[in-house]
Amino acid sequence: MGTISARRRSIRRFQAVFLASFLFAPFGALAGGRDESPGRLGLKTGDRIVTLGDSITEAGGYQAFIRKVLDRFYPDLKVDIINAGVSGNKSPDMKARLQHDVIDRKPTIVTISCGINDVWHSFSYTPSRGVDLETYTRLMTEMVRTLKSSTRAEIYLLTPTVIHENLRSPENRALEPYVQAVRDLARRESVHMVDLNDVFNFVLQAAQSGGAPDFHPTSDGVHMKPSGDFLIGASILRALGVPMSRILEAAEPAAPAVAANDSRIQYWGRWDLRNASSSGAITVNTGSTILLRFEGVNLTLHFSIAHYTESFPSLWLQVDEGEWRVVRPAEALSVSPADLPSGPHALRLVVKGFREWENRWEAPLVGSIVFRGVTPAKDAGLLPAPARPAALIEYLGDSITEGVLVSTPDDPKKVTRDNWPQTSDGRRTWAYQSALSVGAEPRLVGFGRLGLTVNGHGGVPPAIRSFPFIWADAPIESLPKPDVVVINMGCNDGGAPQDVFQPLYRQYLRVIREAYPAARIICLRPFNGAQEAAIRSAVEQSGDALIKYVDTTGWILPEKHYSAAGGVHPNLDGNKAAGEKLAPILAEILRNNKSR
């Protein structure tokens, strides 16, 4: 984790240096049409800020950072921030809803972020759905003049950021005149201007020149990651006269009130807890779970996020047996958007999906969850951890155990690397659900592409070598021993000769038995039948009465149980069917264990 922490500090220093370079510049350079005095706060008591924009605005990330700074340093001003962003909007859309979404809200400050979709939709749709420069300029001008005549609001025009992080892409070249149109408009109408395009271009160019090549402020070239939201929010705050020192101080992640090593936090799965009190608890497996109980109206979860170079992993979150909702790791994640009823509450968080090919074996662990701890709401606290299930079942396998492509759209072309974490589901995989159905604690250890003869995605070595570790630097010795081990291995070894695979499978069983001397071991026939005879023979030759072969023929039906993205990964129905077939076998084993 030292490497991850070092990278996080490096990126923060990088952000600070380049933000200071641009945002400490004279305000005239940023404000365009207004000559402002540095250090003079452009906020007053009761201000209402309305942020007009598209999906970048609707996501709420940069407003959250602005809110964080204002709450910390200017709470007495009681500034209200209203999000008026709508995904996919272009200048005609924003002009059409200006009255209802902005003017009727009686703003004292308005920010307008418009232009990305006006250009991008000329490239991403056939025929083009973009807006030509002349129309864009006219509509932006009309919006500014309407706001000036209908409100007393201070207007801040934000230049469009970037379209892809390749700054010389055709999209970014096409964006240049639109950016210049905003600059000219701010000067012509004497309104404020925040030149985000300059900030993003210079910061990205510096990063790509070798300063921080892993720095990516966007997840897909357009939509913001926390670092991108930080750049936008910090730029707006500087334009409002907030000192840089306060912006940078607020950008540092808040320390959790309760560290991840607290005994009131319960972990299911393989978690590296060696540095939980400082760096956090680490897992690289889907299905890994956090359970806790708390009293009060809300709770904040804290994660490390600086190690994510592209899209974030996805998590399932449930409060009080309510609806499950998908969330992303964040430096500060509220477990409920609105305050909960006062009293005791139970929380469950499950790792849903990773981009499975990102490194999650050697540091820096890009494909990992790093949980730092929690902060209860004021006058609240954690309650004792819930009782653990009586039995623990560990599942060893590949992407089918991991839950890859459990949730896929009907059109397989819609499955991309960008939305991969959304299609995976460690909670609804056959393994996790079969354990829950028999009242056991699930521990999933699945890696895409993994086999006995092949490496897994993300730098994971073959199963015999990877089994004894949570990740490369973290042995499993301190983890609780499972009562049952379920192996679903061999699908990725289908091309290996039987006389190569069978001895490896026997060795695999010996390694598992050495680690778990008393566990019952179930060896599943892979759902597609790969290496069926070799696995059956290896179990028979093991001479171990606690090892059982289970024939899964017919569990997964090709005509309805496989993902549309390929005939290997079970879909949601397939996972449900396999879990239901396995559950009675597990129940019988657990009953026999009790009677032993």
Domain map (residue ranges) of the chain: 2-251, 258-383, 391-595
Residue 68 · residue 246 · CB < 8 Å: no
Exposure of 44 in the CB half-sphere (CA atoms within 13 A):
5
Asked if the model's pLDDT at residue 17 lies above 90, the reply is: no
Predicted confidence at residue 26, as pLDDT, reads: 37
pLDDT at 567 over 90: no
More confident residue, 224 or 91: 91
Question: Are domains 258-383 and 391-595 of this chain identical in fold?
Answer: no
The 3-state DSSP composition of the chain as helix, strand, coil percent (nearest 5) reads 40, 20, 40
Cβ 327 vs Cβ 315: under 8 Å: yes
Q: What is the mean predicted confidence (pLDDT) over 345-360?
A: 93
End-to-end CA distance of the chain: 42
**Which region among 305-309, 483-487, 503-507 has the lowest average model confidence (pLDDT)?**
305-309
Question: For position 180, what pLDDT does the model report?
Answer: 98
- Helices 61-73 and 226-239 meet at what angle, rounded to 10? 50
**pLDDT, position 596:** 67
Q: What is the dihedral of CA 107, 112, 117, 119, to 10 degrees?
A: 150
416 backbone dihedrals φ, ψ, rounded to 5°: -125, 170
Mean per-residue pLDDT, 416-443? 90
Contact status, residue 306 vs residue 8, Cβ threshold 8 Å: yes
Average confidence (pLDDT) over 132-141:
98
Contact 440, 391 (CB under 8 A): yes
Residue 531, token pair as written in the block = 């290496």
Q: What is the distance, to the nearest Å, from the Cα of residue 431 to the centroid of all Cα atoms in its chain?
A: 22
For residue 1, is pLDDT > 50?
no
- Predicted pLDDT of residue 560: 87
The Cα 272–Cα 285 span in angstroms is: 11
Banded pLDDT at 411 (limits 50, 70, 90): low
Give residue for tokens 């950008």: 251
Check if the beta carbon of residue 158 is closer than 8 Å to that of residue 166.
no
**Bridge partners, residue 282, by sequence:** 272, 370
Q: For residues 396 and 595, which has the higher predicted lDDT (pLDDT)?
A: 396
* Average pLDDT score over residue span 576-594: 95
Mark out the alpha helices in 358-446 (DSSP H runs).
Answer: 399-402, 420-423, 430-437
Whole-number percent of the chain with pLDDT over 90:
78
Tell me how far apart the alpha carbons of residues 521 and 548 are, in angstroms, rounded to a whole number. Answer: 6
Q: Name, in order, each residue with C-beta under 8 angstroms of 555's C-beta and a sequence gap of 6 or more.
A: 527, 577, 578, 581
pLDDT: which is higher, 21 or 157: 157
Token pair, residue 189, equals 């109408």
183 burial level (CB within 10 Å; 0-12, 13-18, 19+): middle
pLDDT at residue number 310: 66
Kindly state which CATH superfamily the domain 258-383 is placed in. Answer: Galactose-binding domain-like (2.60.120.260)
CATH of 391-595, one of 1.10.1740.10, 3.40.50.1110, 3.30.360.10, 1.10.3720.10: 3.40.50.1110
Q: What is the mean pLDDT of residues 352-361?
A: 91
pLDDT at residue 421 in the model: 73
Q: What is the pLDDT of residue 100?
A: 97
Query: What is the C-alpha separation between 81 and 103, in angstroms, rounded?
Result: 14
Class of domain 2-251 as given by CATH: alpha beta
pLDDT at 7 over 70: no
Confidence of residue 412 (pLDDT cuts 50, 70, 90): low
Phi and psi angles of residue 225, each rounded to the nearest 5 degrees, phi first: -90, 175
Each residue's pLDDT tens digit, 452-483: 999 999 999 999 999 999 999 999 999 999 99
Mean pLDDT, the chain, integer: 91
Distance CA 485, CA 501 (A): 20
In this predicted structure, the answer to whether residue 12 has a pLDDT above a threshold of 70 is no
Q: Is residue 5 scored above 70 in pLDDT?
A: no
In angstroms, the CA 329 to CA 348 distance is 14
- Report yes or no: 403 and 451 within 8 Å, Cβ to Cβ: no
pLDDT at 48 > cutoff 90: yes
CA nearest to 290, candidates 411, 373, 396: 373
Residue 22 has pLDDT above 90, yes or no: no
- Please compute the mean of the pLDDT values over residues 317-339 and round it to a whole number: 93
pLDDT of residue 380: 87
- The answer to whether the beta carbons of residues 284 and 364 sit under 8 Å apart is no
* Residue 27 confidence (pLDDT): 38
Which of the residue ranges 20-29, 286-295, 343-352 would you say has the lowest mean pLDDT? 20-29
Q: 35: pLDDT confidence band, cut at 50, 70 and 90?
A: very low
